[in-house]
Structure 1
């Protein structure tokens, strides 16, 4: 399997406008300007600039339903999902409703292997033992027509909170809150599922405490000073205590970090760095070996999020949700250690499945083969909880849309599929187009532009593969298939130091839509060695410089020695392993100069 060719393209120069405090170095100002931020307020939005809930559709019905349930002490069951966004959203829903006075709140989450995705009829049957009065779905529900109908048939009320794109018709819920509903006026369409339920709680608090200070004032003082926090808590619950969970779910779900999401994520990161996170997140930070005072969005995306996700992929996300709900630090550490172990198993399964996929593509796909445009992968031995990661890895390697399937359970004829895409190819719309051309082929599907899930019968897989690849052939062109990295240009000689490395690290949160700074340039290779099986450790020098620079290229060992002179795309980072003033270049791409 030949990796996709990659080019490095530099971002165009952008004027550095607006107000910038002296503490923000010129390098960071250039980076912010290249991402469209004019001034510190746009680059680092605070909670004071958070969009108010007013424009979010469905809130009147949703908050009215929840207020009555709380007043009448009805049993509310928050139904989560089996990924990090769904788990954090469930924890936010449970904790927030209890803070707002709900006396009877429980939670549930589908088991991937038993119930399938979301609020299914099978899950509704199991929930009957809890005798709920109200179900609140978080991070799912917009595509769960049968499950919502089954719950309503039992006399339960259903509130759907979701952020996934809706289909042609909506489920028969009592209330729906989703910023992506047709005609919804809420400006921030990129909220994660955890962000949606947080907004529902903000609106519910305002409804229940309408005589208190307006939300804007509350947002302005939300995380500044314990005295103001204590005074505020005398009047109404401080929902900003949930922002650590909101940040983790938002970052881990890879939603674009628009200004609103950056405000939420940054506030949550500040809480975690200050040691105010919930017991479960503090325990996960410990088990990951991260320093909470230096925690970054990358730590959440690459360490905390995968450990929570692993529970839903291989075991039961109930473990992850329990970790996020417990206030007992000893229990939290015990659960975090279990999640860490499950994540190690997930890595091994993922590595084996990815190797299988790469071997299959090497055997069966030729570069000129039309099927190479959009690989469709299946193995009867694969695990359904890991196919999304396999699709993502192959997508990154080939820069092609990829869909991977596994049996819903061992030996089953029903397949679970996960699709991952590239910019310019809307994968959820692609699945919708396939389903429209072949009615009955796809049992169910849903998702976003870059990621989606689906299910279909094994007997329908050949027809689906042909339809999927035909749609890809119609939609993809050479421009979309060219992989590229966007660079912020070359660093100046005086910027290769610890001060600038820390400024870049702490200047985020960085993520989708607001990417972490990446630089490029030519370097001489003074020395190199392999680390582990797949990594490269290099000692470099700038052609015009004298001081050597340490560099690491994760997964960079190809079996051949690097050229004496190389062109790199890299990130500048503090080297906390060596400590002191040490820095290192974290290489994203290496090619002969």
Structure 2
């Protein structure tokens, strides 16, 4: 991999006079000018553009007026938890007869399954509404309809060839929807449906909707959107920017504030990166090793004491998840050393003892380390349950569609995004799947070869490498998937390097031009970077700020060392 400066696309004089050349270069390299910087909520795409959102809202309004039982079926990740909490935060103050149901991933599988149907029917629902799931639940929807239950699906995952026969489907990725942003997270779709419900209340002169604080919901939208790693396109950036504003100004729920406190996040400078690596893992831990109802309960907690208890339990579960992950990762390294993967674009691993809730994280870690598409399987109820993460240039759902088309008996069930997917196989099909998936992925990579470069925003001058600049860049824009955090390159002498934690590298760096000393950190790279000690290299890095005993200290997060 080579370092390469990102080209600038916009004239630099489009920016405010107090923007330094560094700040202008960062924004121009991402095609952001003053016309697209810090957009108001009024610039969001219209609710009317999201197909069937109004139909869903009308069904919900009528159900609330008639006192019908609504069962909200969520999902067991952070996107699903925030989606569930968001809808409950709107429907409950309106007097809706609503209960939520979060499937146990280990007993009921993914999303709206037949096991979920069997569990919710005793709740005597008139309407089942899904959030962040349901777009591939054809059989489960048919079963509910046979019992006289209306079904509203709100989802954002990619559909398969045949849509379920639901009463209403709200999903920007369904073929009939022209919504400009196809990257809405599940919580974003739920938010739009609740916006449509507000419109229906106002059209009908029903003032009860005024009791709902919609601006407070944006904190949930931001957390779920960031946690699900969807692309921060134009619309998502507006949602996340205003959600961050609520979080930074202490306008989030009691439960979210407790999570921020337990995570050690500074609200005033809270960033997308901190939500992704501090808040989201703690929420996700509930669904991975326990029950996601705990995460929903934390988000909706009514008292500070209860919220703190929930947040501390989520923190404990996250530590438990890390221990499980580290053990699985060590086992995976042994497997990888024993199988020939050098000339294959895919790594497929299976261990029936691995924890089903952690295989997705393991797949992601291995994908980042080996820059290959990774499938990780474990056994559950006689099936292999798998989680996949895609390398650059790979679309997982397209690959699994091709596999299902060419080998219809191979995959029992699958679904997800282009970059992350889940699937199930019969154990007898694992070896065949591992062989057949390679040419499918290889064909995608041939058609869309990955770039062998690490893009940077150029070299920083010595005086630009400081805490103030790091904080300014951190909050300048909404950084995340599709809008990468500013990264720079300079030449450093690597004076020392030592291992910390689980294969992390702590570096002592001397910048060549100025002779200044810097502390650096590289995650999961100690074994790869130790060979660079006592040598001079071009290094790509991000400016980070460490908070210690009330003081801010500059740290360089090393992204890549060029040989």
The TM-score, its normalising length taken from structure 1, stands at: 0.90
Partner Cα separation in structure 1 for residue 95 and residue 13 of structure 2: 45
Paired residues in the alignment total: 561
Instruction: State the alpha-carbon separation in 2 of the partners of residues 354 and 534 from structure 1.
Output: 11
**For residues 322-348 of structure 1, what are the alpha-carbon distances to aligned partners after superposition, in whole Å with 9 as ceiling and x for unaligned?**
111222221111111111111111111
Within-5 A mapping of 1:249-268: 249-268=224-243
Structure 1, gaps ≥5 residues long = 1-5, 214-231
**SS in structure 2 opposite 1:445?**
strand
Once the two structures are TM-superposed, the CA of residue 206 in structure 1 deviates from its matched residue by: 0.5
- List aligned pairs for 1:346-357, cutoff 5 A: 346-357=321-332
Partners of 1:156 and 1:444 lie apart in 2 by: 24
Residue 455 (str. 1) matches residue 449 (str. 2): no
Instruction: Answer yes or no: is 1:323 the counterpart of 2:298.
Output: yes
What is the alpha-carbon distance in structure 1 between the residues aligned to residue 423 and residue 543 of structure 2? 39
Determine whether 1:53 maps to 2:47.
yes
Deviates more, 1:477-486 or 1:129-138: 477-486
1:470 alignment partner in structure 2: 439
Distance 1:332 1:579, change over 3 A: closer
Aligned to 1:220: none
- Find the partner of 2:347 among 368, 375, 378: 375
> What is aligned with 1:583?
554
Cross-structure match for 1:222: none
Of 507, 510, 529, 1:541 maps to: 510
TM-superposed deviation, 1:485:
2.2
Aligned to 2:148: 155
Alignment correspondent of 1:91: 85
- 1:65 aligned onto 2:59: yes
The equivalent residue for 1:524 is 493
CA distance in 1, matches of 2:425, 2:59: 36
CA distance in 1, matches of 2:164, 2:139: 8
- How far, CA to CA, are the matches of 2:50 and 2:44 in structure 1? 13
Aligned residue runs from structure 1 range 542-561, under 5 A: 542-558=511-527, 559-560=530-531
Tell me, yes or no, if the aligned pair for 2:392 and 2:450 is still in contact at 8 Å.
Answer: no
Q: Partner of 2:260: helix, strand, or coil? A: helix
Residues in 2 aligned to 1:133 and 1:563: alpha-carbon distance in whole angstroms: 69
Query: Can you list the C-alpha shifts for 1:340-396, whole angstroms capped at 9, x where unaligned?
Result: 11111111111111221221111111524xxx3211111111111111111111111
Distance 1:423 1:529, change over 3 A: closer
Shift, 1:103, TM fit: 2.8
Deviation per CA, 1:404-456, whole angstroms, max 9, x where unpaired? Answer: 11112xxx321111111022211110001001001122111111111111111
Q: 1:546 to 1:394 in 2, by over 3 A?
A: closer
Q: Give the secondary-structure state (helix, strand or coil) at the position aligned to 2:446.
A: coil
Aligned to 2:265, the other structure's residue is in SS state coil
1:132-531 alignment to 2 at 5 Å? 132-210=125-203, 235=210, 237-368=212-343, 372-408=344-380, 412-477=381-446, 480=449, 483-531=452-500
1:80 to 74, 84, 90: 74
1:572 aligns with 543
* Residue 527 (structure 1) shift: 4.5
8 Å contact kept, 2:54–2:193: no
- Residue 480 of structure 1: how far off its partner (Å): 2.9
Equivalent in the alignment of 1:121: 114
Q: 1:31 aligns with which of 16, 26, 30?
A: 26
| 1:579 Cα deviation from its structure 2 partner | 5.8
Task: Find the residue that maps to 1:575 and give its secondary structure.
Answer: strand
**2-side partners of 1:234 and 1:264: how far apart?**
21
Asked if the contact 2:3/2:562 (under 8 Å) is kept, the reply is no
TM superposition shift of 1:91: 0.5
Aligned partners of 2:497, 2:354: CA distance in 1, in Å?
A: 37
The CA deviation at 1:18 is 7.2
RMSD: 2.1
Q: CA deviation at 1:86?
A: 0.5
| SS state at 2:493 partner | strand
Deviation by residue 1:536-566 (Cα, 9 ceiling, x = unmatched): 3333232221432232223332254613312
Equivalent position of 1:562 in the other structure: 533
Q: Deviations over 1:214-240 (max 9, x none)?
A: xxxxxxxxxxxxxxxxxx999563311
- Identify the residue that residue 11 of structure 1 maps to in structure 2: 6
1:504-530 deviations in Å (ceiling 9; x for gaps):
111132100111011112112344444
Measure how far apart 1:46 and its partner are: 2.4
Q: State the SS of the aligned residue for 1:209.
A: helix
**CA contact under 8 A between 1:421 and 1:450: conserved in structure 2?**
yes
Q: Matches of 2:320 and 2:74 in 1, distance apart? A: 23
Q: Quick one: distance in 2 between partners of 1:478 and 1:163?
A: 26
Q: Provide closer, same or farther for how the CA distance between residues 114 and 495 of structure 1 changes in structure 2, counting only shifts above 3 A.
A: same
* More off after superposition, 325-334 vs 544-553: 544-553
